[in-house]
Amino acid sequence: MLHSRWPDAVHQPPGRHDFDGPRESRPHLRHLGTLGAGVALSRRGAALGVALAAALSGQACVWSVPLATTPSAGPPPSADPSLYAVGWTQTGIASWYGEPFHGRTTAAGNTYDMDAISAAHRTIPFGTRLRVDNLDNGRSIDLDVTDRGPFVPGRILDVSRGAARELEMIGPGTARVRITVLGTATPVSARGGCVVVQIASFRERRNAEMKRQEVARAGLEASIEAYENMYRVLAGPFADEPAASRARDTLGGFIRRC
């Protein structure tokens, strides 16, 4: 299930709001609404008049009415991790997301922490390690893909607020970035093997330790894995994928090999 973030929910810097009050407090919008309704009625009347004239003259008319569409939820996750081998790069615009999604469940199944270091991409497999270079100021950061998005045309990556702070893009809201795959997510075979559930990633070890203790209190074995400048909290290991899936359903996160 995709976790959708529509254009009006993506972070925008101050001053970019479409309006600042209810319609009732904006007379000019009431006027535009009345005017729009009048234009619509006039067009409808004209269309009916043309149709009636054609019918009376014995000519057949075919009317083409465009169907209403809903915003796209973006392309589905890639089923082929090999498409994103180590060294694969992509350049484009990144944005960041925070308050409206803090504490919600990500597409990977874990709880989104806007102050942790993570990112959302539309197709790169969960757990893939990326380096993000801010081409506007030279800042860079390494992070894991844990969510899906952004679903705004022209953008390739959504980063957490914590990552945006490191990249110094909080104020601008967006930045030109280059992403590079540092490590690929290893698919888990349904036939079994040693697997773990990666629950979260933190820059500060103390935050990872707090999460590890929370998992331990739930009665599961938990550990911290240091990876470059991050600390990953893992539940397990589990003997097979079904056992790991049960833990993931409770804790969130995603399954990977030990």
Closest CA to 113 of 126, 122, 104: 104
- Domain assignment present for residue 219? The answer is yes
User: Domain for residue 137, yes or no?
Assistant: yes
Statement: the pTM of the whole predicted model exceeds 0.85? no
Pair 205, 152 in one domain = no
Q: Do residues 100 and 120 share a domain?
A: yes
Chunk the chain into consecutive blocks of 10 residues (it has 258) and report each block's average pLDDT, rounded to whole numbers.
43 37 38 39 42 41 31 42 84 94 83 89 90 96 91 94 94 96 64 74 88 88 84 87 84 80
199 and 177 housed in the same domain: no
Integer Cα distance of 111 and 105 in angstroms: 5
Q: Which of 183, 206, 227 is the last residue of a domain?
A: 183
| Domain end point (choices 148, 183, 218) | 183
Long-range Cβ pairs for the range 216-219 (8 Å, 24+): 218/250, 218/251
Q: Are residues 210 and 158 in the same domain?
A: no
**Which residues constitute the domain of residue 113?**
77-183
Please state the domain count of the chain.
2
User: Do 239 and 215 share a structural domain?
Assistant: yes
| 153 occurs within a structural domain | yes
Q: Tell me, what's the pLDDT at 81?
A: 62
Counting every residue, how long is the chain? Answer: 258
CATH at residue 249: 3.30.70.1070
